Chains A and B, each alone.
Chain A
């Protein structure tokens, strides 16, 4: 009856307890790892939405592609894309500044990212208002239900990201680069990039699909 592995070590001379360095765990790594896991759950939510999109596009009596082509404005969405991507880029520069330890750099990058994010939101809500004004609403049919749900769910993330940026500006101002602030800035980067990635899918499936294919 022997236990399974590595009995070769001499028990007399081995270290049995971890003295000296009690905590030893990498805080930043743990925090960002957890956030990646959260991001995975959000990816699954989007995956389920896109699955629903695929299902509801197959619907008797409705040509989903021509609906998309007739309803959605790809040029406008292109401008939205530029705003969002520029915002991500700006936040990327904020992260470069974080590496250098420059508070003002992070602040400027974040503010620019925030403003561009708000521009994106403004354009999306303008677009929604235009469509709602024309009577094209999520309640029209199952397919439009999912299309609008996708767009609005994404926009909600942008709102959350914007609030998060404000909070980070305040915390950075108060505390500087403490480990709490740094891991939150890094997580915000993961979050913000992810929204841009999702937008690519929305842009392709909702705005481009009708035009191109």
Chain B
């Protein structure tokens, strides 16, 4: 039934053998040692502080949307570092391997990475940054903030929420494992057909890529179902559609994109899987396969996906800018319409990712025009933010600084996107570094919004503010790094440099590549400041404790409960009377959070099932990657069994008694100084 494989295979170990471990590669050995040290330190710390039971009880088995969100963010952060390490390797390789006389180290002819190795590095970089860094960070923040903004006690399906997270974590684990067991795909993050077919890529790299991608797609789809249902069904009384906070609108729009587009990604990958495992002919070069089918299916997901990433970022900017302009958001309705217009148009533009591949001029023109249409709602948003700031009392605190940076990056990224959108232009620089610079502006905009959002909402979740001094250093070095890396990249794009080079033939490009390396140095320094920021904030956490509304000028429901938010979010669900309810209450002098009597609150009970299912699907995919059929079959059977058994569980809820609630509520002090005003 399964295709015939080149190379050894046996029924017990599949394709796994000691050769799979890259002990001859010093870089990977170093990475491995680093990972071991980190892992030992983590395990040691858990044992030393006897934190195991606590971690299991409070985190691994949690169904609390805030904790799941925090775990999503931590996962995203770890993967962000991994992706950054990849970027560092690419930039150093390209700075060294310029011209025929450039030196070679560690077995490489030029530079220090062999073509096979750097191929894995840039493939992993792309996949990780899009799917395992940006996505978890955004999903995590939506997970935390959306239920709070709509006055709900949890997500619609808390158990599913945990499951979505653990599937994503398992997928990220697969990518990490590929460093030390086997290898990763080396043909680019979006796949390359028919090159990714078994005859041309016989190793496990493509399988790692495919299954990690697939598993994360399942996790994200489940997450989108949950967020949509939460927004539609769980809003507090009085919160009509047009009173919803704009970040919640952005989340709704973005998750509609995810809900409809991720299944297409699953199909595009599943058909490749059928080709690689069963020998079907979906994308093969012969026997009636069609490689354009892959490109179309993939980018039918791929373009909506980039808007899936950017819409929540827009939502974050729309929350931060009014707060720090001390004004209501300009053009709320147009903002909502624009979010949905962007979501809708994003479905009709995918072909711009392969203008150069066999489409007629009329087809290319059509997709050129639709692509440019995206600029209209995006422009509406930009003007709305600018008009929000106009004549506002703008305070440049850290969240606002990040939001404004995001605005600038959006301008550069959007304009260069428009340039890509001309098919005639794109013929000249498709697959070049101009395109790479374009989408990095976009993705860095997302990163900037995320940093802003974290600065903004951190005190809400953890009850203390992040310090500002090191945070500002971090910010400015990120700005420096971005300028030094990407301005030269745009220039190189104009001079015709193609992307993904393991060796740069023209020595004229060397100065630019070196300048970019300096930019990377700024990023590394920024990273140091980031840790300083984190360390000082944690050290001074008592000093920086805050009350319910730490910025003083926030406007939405999430600021109407204590900081840190208690497990049940709101002791009483608020009634909503206005679009910016919290601002409305402050204006009308009813902004007190004090209540006298309390009631029992029903909450879902923690469960270990999601983490178990995550672990099982990790093993399932591992078995499939190495073609250890018995292992996959066994874990699949267990997955089914666990799901069925869990469906019989009866006590899935628990009650937080009124007395406990009263205890928690009595202990908080909402009147702590709000540092913003001081």
Contact = CB atoms under 8 A, between A and B. Distances in A.
A82 interface: no
B234 interface: yes
A5 B243 CA distance: 8
A17 B293 CA distance: 54
B578 A3 contact: yes
Contacts of B326: 1
Q: Which of B274, B328, B579, B583: most chain A Cβ within 10 A?
A: B274
B113 interface: no
Contacts of B284: 142
Contacts of B292: 55
Given A55-B293, A56-B282, A62-B288, A6 B225 contact: no
B226 interface: yes
Interface string B557-579: 00000000000000011110111
Contact of B282 (A3, A22, A142): A142
B539 interface: no
Interface string A142-161: 11011001000000000000
Interface in B250-274: 259-264, 266-268, 271, 274
Contact of A1 (B242, B263, B282, B327): B327
B225 A38 contact: yes
Interface in A183-204: 184
A40 interface: yes
B578 A48 contact: no
A44 interface: yes
Contacts of A171: 647-648
Interface string A124-141: 000000000000001111
A25 B234 contact: yes
B195 interface: no
B578 A4 contact: yes
A18 B280 contact: no
A19 interface: yes
Nearest to A9: B577
A41 B221 contact: yes
B647 A41 contact: no
Contacts, number: 174
Contacts of B225: 34, 37-38, 41
Nearest to B151: A18
A138 B280 contact: yes
Contacts of B588: 7, 11
B397 interface: no
B674 interface: no
Nearest to A48: B267
Interface stretch (B419-427, B449-457, B462-470, B594-602): B594-602
B572 A17 contact: yes
B289 interface: yes
Nearest to A44: B263
B577 A6 contact: yes
Contact of B229 (A34, A47, A167, A174): A34
A30 B242 contact: no
B278 A138 contact: yes
A11 B573 contact: no
Given A17-B573, A24-B573, 5 more contacts: A37-B224, A37-B229, A51-B297, A52-B297, A175-B650
Q: 7 nearest interchain CB pairs? A: A142-B288, A17-B572, A11-B588, A145-B280, A44-B263, A48-B267, A141-B288
8 contacts: A1-B327, A6-B577, A11-B585, A22-B572, A22-B600, A48-B297, A48-B300, A139-B281
